[in-house]
Structure 1
C-alpha cells in the first residue's frame, strides 16, 4: 500500500470561541442502519459488566443532541480552503490531509471552549501512549497523525467503555475486535490492552485505506462501517467525503467524525498556540514482565512484588478478574518496573491464608432463602447454619450473615516453612493425611475438602499433577486460626486439633450417647457430614449408608447412628 509522504501545510486560523455544548470523550456512536463491521456500529449483544460500567465516559444524549444541532447550523458541508492572506504563519508538518472548513472550525472552537477541560485531559493522557502508537504506525507505513484517532475515540483512556459496547483506546466492539485478533472472553478483554488494541486498529485502518484509497473515507468507515460508506459511494457516485457529507445518507454522528479528528490533530500538534500551556502531561508507564502459570491469583503476585492488586490491574488492564486466565498457557504479566527480581526472590516464601468472612444481607420484600442462596451462590444448609436458623422463613428487615471465603497471602520468614508455621500453631493446627485412591484426582479431592487445587499443590510441592499416583499421601493443613481452609459445609464450626473422638472416648463429644455397639449423635449447628465423619474416624460414605442418607445434607436436630467397628 502506497501512502502519501508527510506534507507541509501553512495555515493561520482565527481563534473564535463560541459557547457551544460540551461533550465527553466518548459518545454512543450507533448508526441504526449500518450493516457492516464499523468499530462502533455493529450489533453487540454483550451487556457491560458492573466493572465496565464504572469506566464509562459517555457523552450524555442531551449534550450530544445539542452539539449536533449546533454543528448542523454551520451550513453546507464543503471542502475547506486555506487562508492565503499574507500574515505571519507557523509551519506545521502533517501526514494526514488537513482541510479547514466550517465544520473543522466548529470543533477547533469546541475544543478551545466548552470542551477545553476534556481536551486538556486528553492531551495529558496522550503522552502515556503516543510514542508507542506512533512507533506502530510508522512500522505499518500509516500517517503518524492517526495517533489522535485514539484521542477522539477514547480520550486516550484504555478503560473507556460506551453504551454501544465499544471498549478501549480504539473503541472496538467485540465482533470487530475478534476479527482483528483480539482475545475477548470472560477472563481477558484485549480491547483494553493498549499495545494489542493499537495493532488491531492499525490492521483495520490499513484495510479501510486500501478499500477506499482515501483517509477521510477510511476514518469515516472506521466509525460507520465499510458497508455504509461503500453504499454511500455507490448511491452518490463520488469518492469525495465532503460531497458525501453534503447529503443526508450518512448520519451526522459519522459526518462529524472527520472534522473532529482534523481539529484534534491541528491543536494536538501545536497545543500552546491554542492556549493549552498548563497541561500536566503524564509519563509513559514503565514495567517489567514475568511469566506466570494459569489461574495465578494477582493478590499473590502483589505480595511478592510489594505492590497492590489495584496497581497490577492498571498495568494489566485487559484482565477482567483478579487472576491470570486458566488454561494450559503461561501468562505474561506486567509488574512494576524494578520488581522482577523481588518477585523471583519472594515466590518460594509465599504462603496462602484463607479464612471465612461474612457480609450482611438485609431481607427485603419478596426475599426467600432460595433467592438469597442463588444471589450469593451458597447452598441452603450453609446459610441456615451460618445464621443459626431452624426454618427457611424470613422476616422483612432481618439481617443475614452471608459467609464467604477470603484469601490473602503472606511471606514466610527467612528459614520458615509452611510445615513449621503450622507446627508453631500448636493446638490450633491440624494436618490431615489423605491417601490417594485409584481414579482420584486433585480436583475431586479439592472439592471434597473445599480447598483450591493450587493450594494442595503448593502444600505438597506438586509441580506436575500427572505425576501423582494412587497410594501417595497428600498433606492437607486445617486449623482454626488465620491459616484456615474452611469446609463449605462447616463454616461456623471448624475442626480443632485434639477434638477427634473415637468410640472409646465418645463422652468427649457433646450430643452423643452410646447404645450397645452404636453411638447416636444429634447434629449441632455448624456440623457437616464430613466433620462428623472425621471426628468419629469413619467415612462420610459409611454415615450415609448407616443412616440411609441420599446425599450429604444434614440438619440440626437430626440423630445420626454411628456403628462400632
Structure 2
C-alpha cells in the first residue's frame, strides 16, 4: 500500500509542475505537436539530389560570402520562434518540434542543396512575385516551388506531376496549360506560374486558411476535406494534422522551414551559389517548324542556354505550323534571328526535322485526283452499296483510299472516282465525217478577202444563240428571224465531241440521275407503309422490295431503308439539250450565212482561219473594222409560256418546290402566281408554276 502511494505521488509531482509550466507560457497544440511517424517527403529528397546533378554546370561558389565556416549553428527554440514571428508575412508561420526538424534538415545535411536553390532564386523569384502580386496573393508563396521542385522547371514526379509547380496534366489543362508530345507548358516558368497563382487563389476561396491551401495543393482538396470531416469539422491545419495523409503532414512544416532558411541562411553559415543565366531576353513568334539546334548552330548560341530559356519544348522542336509559339532568345541574338529568319528555318531542315509530309506506300498505285468525286460515309453504309451508287467497284474505292479492309466509319470521306489531274484536259476525238464537214464549211467561209473574227470580242454570242434556238425547238417555238439576222456572228473555239464521246456523256448523265440518297426510317406506332411512302415520295412496293418485307404491316421500331430519288439532278438533266452532229452542222450553216451577210455590207479585211487538229476545235479570228452603229429593229417578243401545275405532297415547301424548277423560279414567284397570303400549303393543293 505504501509502495503504491509513493508511486502515485511521484507521478503527480512530475505532472503538476509540467502542467503549470505549459499553462504559464500559454503554449498551444501547434507549438508542442510532435510526430514520431514523420518522414521526409520522398519528393524533397529526390528533387534536391536531381538539383545537384542538373545545376552543377550552371552554378559556382559565391565570391562575396561573408562566412568563413561551413558548419551549422544551432540556436535555442526561442530564437527560431522570434525569427519566424518577425518575418513580414501574411501567412501564419508557427514553430514546433516538427518545424524544427525540417530547419535542422535544411541547415544540416542539405545545406549544400540550399546553396544551389538560393542561387537559382535570383532568376525565378521575380517571376513568382510578379504573378502572385497580379492576383493579390501573399508573396511568401514563392517558397512553395522549393518544396515542390527545388526550382527545377523540367523535373517530373513518379505520379507525373511536372514543372516548377508540379502540375498534373488534368489540373494543368483546367488552367489552360497546353500539354502534348512536343510542348508542355507545365515546364514554362511564366505560364505555369500564372496557372499556379490562379489555382492557389481558387483554393483560398474554398478554405480561407493558407495552411489548408498549401496542404490541399499537395494532396488535393479531397484529402483535406476528409481530414476536416474526421476531425469533427475543424478547419485549423494543426487540429486536423493527425488525420492528413502521412506524406502531407510534413508539407506545411517543410514550407515554414524553407521560408525560414531563405531569410536566415547567413546565420547558419550558408553561402548562396551564383547562377549563370541570361539577364536580358527577347521573345520571337515562330510560325514554322523549328528545331532549337538550327538556332544554336546558325546564331552560335549554346543549345543548353536555349533549353534553359525554353524548357517547355520537350523534344527541342517548336511546332510553329500548328500555331504560333514563343521562342525566348538572348537580347543580343534576337535582332539577328529576325533578319535571318528564312535562312534559319531552312538551315539543315531535313536533318533536324525528319517528318515527311507525303509518302507513297511501296506498290500503292492510287490515282485518285484532288478533283475526283468525294462521298461522306453515313451510318449504315458499306463499300458495296457506295460502289453501286457511283458505278465503280469496291476494289477501286479501296485502292483510291488506301483501305486495307471493308470497315468504314460514319463521317469518313471517300474518293469515289479516279478524277483527272487539275492541269489536264480530257482529250476529245472528232469523228472523220465531222472533221470533213467542218473543214469544208470553214474553207468556204474564209478567204483572203474575208474579215477575220476576233474571238475575244463577245465570242460566246453564237453559242448562246445556238442554245437559245435548241431550247425553242424543244418547246415548239420558232426562233425570231429578225433576231437571228441582226445578231453579230462570232465563231468561238468549239470542242466538237464525236458520237462515242456523246454516248459516254449520256451514260455519265444517266448515272448521275440514278444516284439516290439512302436514309433509314424508324417505324413509329400507328404508321403504315402507305404513310411512310407518301412522306418520302416513293412507292410502298419499293419499300417492301428494299427491305424484303413479307407483311404489309411494318413492326414498331423497325428500321426501314429508304432510297430517295435525286429529282433535282434529273430535272436539270432533262432541261439541258444534247449536242449532236446535226446540231453542229446547223450552227456552222447559221454562222456561215451570217458572216456572208455582214461581208456584203462592210469593206473586207485580212482573214486568218485554221482548224486545230490537236485540240479537235475550229477557230476563226476576225478583226472588226470601226463602223458606225446602225439602229436595228427590236426583235419580236416570244409568245408567253404557259405555266405548269404542281400537286403538293407531304413535306413540300414553297422553297423546295421552287428549287425543283431551277434557279429562275423563287418561292415568291410561286406565291404571287397563286395569290397565296402565306407560305402554308396543304397536301393535294394544285399550284401554278410560272415560266
Q: TM-score, normalised to structure 2's length?
A: 0.40
> TM-score, normalized by length of structure 1?
0.48
Q: Could you say which structure has the higher helix fraction?
A: 2
Return the structure number with greater strand share: 1
Q: Which has the larger radius of gyration?
A: 2
